[in-house]
Chains A and B, each alone.
Chain A
Amino acid sequence: MLTRLKTQVPLFSMNSYTKLREKLKLSGLSFASTHSHVIRLGRHSRHNSKMAVCIAVIAKENYPLFIRSVPIQNELKFHYTVHTSLDVVEEKISAVGKAMADQRELYLGLLYPTEDYKVYGYVTNSKVKFVIVVDSSNTSLRDNEIRSMFRKLHNSFTDVMCNPFYNPGDTIQSKAFDSIVSAMMVQAS
């Protein structure tokens, strides 16, 4: 528990996970049901989570080419999660100097941990971003596995781009891509 938290909040290793939770609950960050999509910090039932809960592909101009999430009823929440994560992505890209851009690693690592999820990022050389959201209770997932997921995603995306009938900049509707994504996603139980 503690080791995981260290990776999650490297800055505040003294904060135990339970304290964090407690803080969350007490800080009153909960919203009216009408705006429940905003951020619900309360606990909610978990799925049999194994892998990603949301996968998004974002164009160079920062609009979504593809976004798919597991709990359909709360899709907008993931939109917000992914959207805000772009700040971190941009910051990370710009942090790497221009000279280094060629050797830059595509995998950006953990973008930021939210209360319920961990958000990972990956940027292709053409500045197309991949974002994978993982349930933060999912401790079994190693960094390597996330990397391999991104690699798979990238390969499949390359295939999509190779399709002469695909217009770059359009939303991705490829079935092959979709099935790759589905394979990475948690099956809601």
Chain B
Amino acid sequence: MLSVYQVYLLPGNSVYCGSTISPSQIPLYTKCILRLKVILIFYSLQGRTLILKDIKSHESLSLVCITQLERRMADAGNKESAPIGGDEFTNTELENNKNNTMVEEGSTLLRRMEISVAEAEKRTGKNTVNMQEIFTVYLIETRPIDAITEGHNPAPDSLWRRYSEFEILRNYLLVTYPFIVVPPLPEKRAEFVWHKLSADNMDPDFVERRRVGLENFLLRVASHSVLSNDKILYHFLTEEHRWKEVVYETGFQAKADSRIKALSATFRVKNPDKRFTEMKHYSDELQSLTSQLLRVRARVADRLYGVYKVHGNYGRVFSEWSALEKEMGDGLQSAGHHMDAYAASVDDMLEEEEHYADQLKEYLFYAEALRAVCRKHELTQYELETASSDLISKKQQREELATGMVRTFSFKGMTNKLFGQETPEQREAKLSLLEEQIVQGEETVTEKTVECEEYVKGAWVDMQRFKEQKDRDLREALIGYAVMQISMCKKGIQVWTNAKECFHKM
């Protein structure tokens, strides 16, 4: 029995074929990011084998794995009803999906709304200094899920945004939710480029990869239990023109911590939560390692390119040689063609590998977001410590004034000694001021303590979530990479076997 399902895979997941899954266990709502393009996949079932097909060409995708689904099978553990054909979703399927999204609790925006970054276009306009510039805009499409489930297929709402607007959104989220490891944006400029890859921001491949990265960003944000409920995010997705004013009105820019403040807090904080300190070290490691990995990978790609391309020269010389020969000619000529094919095959393979590099880059940038959360903790802790020590010193001053004993050195005390004691009225005034300050101070300390505790609680939860997400995603990335290598080896075997047959016929 053949049934057709429309599926989405949340970002960071990949699929590959070869496993058998019973029909009832397929979670829906999985969008697969494959070959730098986001494509919809139809699953078709014959018996118990799952076959994945490209929606446009209907050709089977052999590179596609189903680990994520299998893991979810183990995780889910609840009985789902068999999915129905076409693009309808029942409530149970949505329930299923809820268990299978990356966020466990709360309702997320992504569940109510389908979001995608569908296209990219070049525009020209005047920039802030009134000069002509070319920039790229990206089309964000949204569609409410309800509309789809009711069997309609409405056209999506859409608006155009440029990269800088995404940056503003992210900065807003960073300031507003400092305890959340905020998903990163794709890189602003092309880095870790191997020589054939363009470092030009206008290059179509770069733009395409950025489109995917931006969509990934939106999907991650919209599926986060906390971030997805943000109104500004919603506006970003739905209101093209007024959004910037609205976001600036929140005054988030003013709330941003100054760098200097943050830095000095890092040095002077006395008792940060040990777990956060460890996490900060980890984030440093993650950043340095992924960056090193990306650099070396780019060099490896370069060298591999060279190896393959030189083989193309064999194609040419075999062709020339075959013209000299009688019986050997045909075999040589055909072998030469295979050498050409071999040399040409490296382009596609390396382009595909860029997807792996993009996955690593995402976590390179995530490391920075993680560090930011740890440092914010250090800042809040430092502020608490400062408030506490301020309070203590104020209390000590009060004690001194009341008892007349000088315990702490102060200029006031010295000048008093030099120029004479103050009057009882003056002392009273000072005492009551101090009392006020102490009351305020105690309030501040209480506030800061609560703030710190809540921060630690919230941040720790999100850091755990992040850790699990990271483990999952990177594992998937490694699997994807291994699958790519396997495909590359198989192609190599194929080409050389073909060439060998031609040599045999010489």
**Does A pair with B?**
no
Residues on B facing A (Cβ under 8 Å)? none
Which A residues are closer than 8 A to B by beta carbons?
none
